[in-house]
Amino acid sequence: MTTDVERAGGTEAAGRGATRLLLSYPYVLGGSMCLGLAGANAARVHGAGVAVAALGAAFAAALCADAHARVAVLALGLLLAGWWWGSARLDALDSSVLRSHIGETEPAAVVVTGPSRSNGFLLRVPARVLRFGSMEVGEAVLLQLPVGRSPPQGAILGLDARIQQPRPASHGFDERTWLRRHGVHVVVTGKHWWIVGRRGGVGGYADRVRSWLARSLAPGLTGERRAVLEGIVLGEDEGLSPGLRDAFRASGLYHLLAVSGQNVLFVAMGVLALAWVLGLPRWLGEVGALAGIASYVLAVGSQPSVVRAGIAGALGSIAWLSARQRDRWHFLVVGALVLLAWNPYTLLDAGFQLSFAAVVAIFVALPRAQRLIAGYPVPRVAGEAVAVSVACGLATAPVLWFQFGRIPLYSVPANALAAPVVAPLLGLAFAAAIADPISPAMAGLIASVNGCLAAYLAWCARLVAGLPGAVVSSSAGLGALLLLASSLVLLAVGGADRNRRRP
């Protein structure tokens, strides 16, 4: 018969097994909560019932003797908790104080929260209304001003504000829905504005870092070259001409103008290298890398790609500081969890879908693509660039078609042409920003060299965009592209199988 000691030992072993399972596969639990957060977009739950059920599942998991059952019940609890939290966040994002004041005009105080954009007729500025008439508000809005000087980011403006509805759907773009998913429900218009102050706190710090980067990453450069550098480093394409912006889209190089993990990697590695040069201990360099990543993410804004990369970089430093093993899938799931917990509507955002599809493709499909290309006489650097382009291109093509109804056909050769200069361009841009306060002449020299790289990228975009059939936007073209993609996938699988059968 089983003794009490044996039963206690079995229970303790089961507990250790569950603990090991949780520590080995944390992305299973994180993925469950992400699924609940995403599910709130399909159906919302209200009341405390689901929250109580989630807590009940957590207690039930603690009582489960079987390790796998414990993880399964806990995953169910986290899914319910994510569903409840996602519903609450969507309700909060959909609420608006100013919507009931549409058509009214009152003196207002508005803080500029991002860079302005011009459509040739109006300046469109992301902002937050602090005060409208006698009301203290604190609501995100789209601010529309006459074309002219742009208000600086972080400035608090005074103006006579009129509340209007966003534009309805037109020409395939539903601006009203797009703004609502970002918590914006009204448009504020004004003819005259004046600066009455600047915001402080974390937002003010982000404004100062962004201003420093924008001022010092390309000293002495103007025009197109500076605009390309600002687009790649800050994720801001406002300085590009409409023609060049369209060329980046048609060539499949537009992703370079969205801040990515490579930017965050350069920030972290730059801080670590500086700590090494100064003879500082590694732990202090990792702490500095955390601060640098946080500062950069705050400066460039909450783009899904940069938030995901920033979280991954921060977790990497934390893992080193705590002597934990690094798990790239864990980092990816945590990034998705943070983004969806803040705004579950992010799941429907093209940037979120493209960023995560590309990263998953790199994790899953890239090794196969590399093995396939390894059998051909291609230089290693060029082969890696082609492999990344093929893997990411196949993964993001469905998203591009679904979101925009068009797919750049030559994105693989375009990215292969651009890849050799992207990393040096980023490195030189950050080097110029660091050197500018110390030696403006050296910073100017670095920027002039970097301007040549920026001009080369613009040339690549125009060259590829000008090729016949650069963009697929018809059903027949999509069918041909799917056939080609299927052939490439089958070829990759076959090549991988042959490599495995080799002695």
Residue 313 or 253, more confident: 253
Give the separation between CA 55 and CA 85, rounded to whole angstroms.
Answer: 13
Share of the chain above pLDDT 90, in %: 22
What is the three-class DSSP state of 145? strand
Contacts of 441 (CB under 8 A, 6+ apart): none
Residue (of 29, 34, 33, 79) closest to 53 by Cα position: 79
In this predicted structure, the answer to whether residue 270 has a pLDDT above a threshold of 50 is yes
Rounded to whole angstroms, the maximal C-alpha distance in the chain is 88
pLDDT at 496: 47
Q: Is the pTM of this model over 0.75?
A: yes
In this predicted structure, the answer to whether residue 56 has a pLDDT above a threshold of 90 is no
Contact 306, 319 (CB under 8 A): no
Considering only 350-364, 428-442, 443-457, which range has the smallest mean pLDDT?
A: 350-364
Confidence band, pLDDT 50/70/90 cuts, at residue 188: very high
**Phi, psi (rounded to 5 degrees) for 121:** -120, -30
In this predicted structure, the answer to whether residue 8 has a pLDDT above a threshold of 70 is no
pLDDT in tens, 121-158: 888 999 999 999 999 998 999 999 988 888 988 999 99
Residue (of 450, 444, 460, 448) closest to 427 by Cα position: 450
Confidence band, pLDDT 50/70/90 cuts, at residue 459: very high
What count of other Cβ atoms lies within 10 Å of the Cβ of residue 192?
Answer: 9
Contacts of 165 (CB under 8 A, 6+ apart): 102, 176, 186, 187
pLDDT at 5: 44
Contacts of 418 (CB under 8 A, 6+ apart): 253, 256, 457, 460
| Strands 193-198, 187-189: pairing kind | unpaired
Q: How far is CA 313 from the centre of its chain?
A: 13
In this predicted structure, the answer to whether residue 286 has a pLDDT above a threshold of 90 is no
pLDDT in tens, 167-186: 887 777 788 888 998 889 99
Q: What is the mean pLDDT of residues 340-362?
A: 86
pLDDT at 269: 75
